[in-house]
């Protein structure tokens, strides 16, 4: 049975842990506010840019730009975006499970899969399983810069243009709310608008009415590579915001658990102290009765 001193030490340790979790929650809240502002500012731009290029691509020749070209081969690159640090609940577990399912599905369909990772958690996950990783980036989580997105995008574009892969998909956690993140998979390359039936035919007809100035080639050369940069940048910002919100929730839950543990330990301490006092009183009463005898 734990002594009073042992229980006091445990209460002190839990209180110290609670101070740390509270501080980490405040730090995560401050980081979230900054990255959330950047993410919300970028979302409309990224969405509109993708929509415009999708519309333009519907009426364009697929060979007009290397990043539009379809290839018959079954080679795909999966880019997995996680955090560099833990203590954020199931944030990394969810994305890694989804990425593994995505990879397994491609392999079942006969695709040859290569993997690139962003974040230490994804790197460590595949390293433990001895799965080869083509390229990796760390140190971006919590410090997202557009230059980092450009570096990653340039590598993916080069890998696609030299025909090492025929498709590039990105798996990441998108920020939905302060308490929810959504695992998201986007097809980054090639830029391939989904179209079907009459709606698709109408869209293609509308796309053919565009007037390109100065020319379709110059517009595609400038905007399609930039769109890849923007979509990678958005994925990094979304993932960073989702990470900080997940960490806030995890630290809030940890703080509440500390409160419950302190209450339980305090009750245990009071019971043990009461038992000790009762034992001492029994010894005194026993001694007095012995003296009377």
| pLDDT score at 293 | 62
Distance, CA of 92 to CA of 48 (rounded, Å): 29
| pLDDT score at 217 | 80
| pLDDT score at 252 | 92
Active-site hit among 88, 102, 251, 258: 88
Strand order in the sheet with 75-81: 135-137, 112-118, 75-81, 167-177, 180-189
Pick the CATH number of 33-246 from 3.40.50.300, 3.30.70.20, 3.40.1130.10, 3.40.1380.10: 3.40.1380.10
Q: Do the domains spanning 4-22+249-292 and 33-246 agree at the CATH topology level?
A: no
151-159: Cβ within 8 A, 24+ apart: 152/79, 152/118, 152/232, 153/225, 153/228, 153/229, 153/232, 155/116, 156/77, 156/79, 156/116, 156/188, 156/189, 156/228, 156/232, 157/67, 157/189, 157/225, 157/228, 159/77, 159/134
Segments making up each domain of the chain, as ranges: 4-22+249-292, 33-246
Q: Is 283 exposed, middle or buried (CB count within 10 Å of its CB: 0-12, 13-18, 19+)?
A: exposed
Known catalytic residue: 88?
Answer: yes
CATH number of 4-22+249-292: 1.10.287.80
Is the pTM for the entire model greater than 0.75? Answer: yes
Buried b (16+ CB within 10 A) or exposed e, 25-43: beebbebbeebbeebeebe
Q: What is the DSSP string of the chain?
A: ---HHHHHHHHHHHHHHHHHHHHHHHHHHHHHHHHHHHHHHHHHHHHHHHHHHHHHHHTS-GGGSTTT---SS-EEEEEEE--SS--STTHHHHHHHHHHHHHHHHHHTT-EEEEEEESHHHHHHHHHTT---SEEE-S-TT---HHHHHHHHHHHHHHHHTTS-SEEEEEEEEEEETTEEEEEEEEEES------HHHHHHHHHHHTT---SS-HHHHHHHHHHHHHHHHHHHHHHHHHHHHHHHHHHHHHHHHHHHHHHHHHHHHHHHHHHHHHHHHHHHHHHHHHHHHH-
Instruction: Give the pLDDT means over successive 10-residue stretches in the chain (293 positions).
Output: 84 93 92 92 93 81 79 89 92 94 93 94 94 94 92 94 91 89 91 52 52 79 92 95 93 92 90 84 80 72
Q: Is 183 exposed, middle or buried (CB count within 10 Å of its CB: 0-12, 13-18, 19+)?
A: middle
| pLDDT score at 23 | 93
């Amino acid at each position: 049975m734990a002594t009073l001193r042992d229980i006091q030490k445990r209460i002190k340790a839990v209180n110290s842990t609670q101070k740390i979790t509270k501080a980490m929650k405040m730090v995560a809240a401050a980081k979230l506010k900054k990255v959330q502002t950047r993410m919300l500012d970028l979302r409309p731009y990224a969405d509109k840019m993708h929509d415009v290029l999708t519309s333009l691509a519907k009426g364009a020749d697929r060979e007009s730009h290397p990043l539009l070209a379809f290839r018959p081969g079954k080679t795909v690159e999966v880019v997995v975006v996680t955090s560099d640090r833990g203590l954020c609940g199931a944030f990394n577990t969810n994305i890694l499970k989804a990425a593994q399912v995505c990879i397994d599905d491609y392999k079942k369909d006969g695709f040859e899969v290569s993997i690139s990772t962003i974040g230490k958690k994804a790197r460590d996950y595949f390293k433990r399983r001895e799965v080869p990783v083509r390229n990796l980036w760390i140190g971006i989580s919590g410090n997202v810069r557009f230059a980092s997105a450009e570096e990653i995008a340039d590598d993916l574009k080069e890998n696609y243009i030299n025909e090492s892969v025929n498709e590039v998909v990105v798996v990441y956690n998108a920020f939905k709310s302060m308490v929810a993140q959504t695992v998201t998979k986007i097809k980054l390359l090639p830029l391939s608008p989904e179209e079907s039936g009459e709606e698709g035919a109408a869209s293609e007809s509308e796309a053919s009415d565009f007037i390109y100035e100065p020319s379709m080639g110059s517009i595609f050369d400038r905007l399609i590579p930039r769109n890849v940069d923007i979509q990678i940048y958005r994925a990094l910002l979304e993932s960073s915001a989702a990470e900080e919100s997940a960490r806030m929730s995890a630290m809030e839950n940890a703080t509440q658990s500390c409160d419950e543990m302190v209450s339980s330990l305090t009750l245990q301490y009071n019971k043990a102290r009461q038992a000790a006092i009762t034992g001492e009183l029994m010894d005194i009463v026993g001694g007095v009765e012995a003296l009377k005898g």
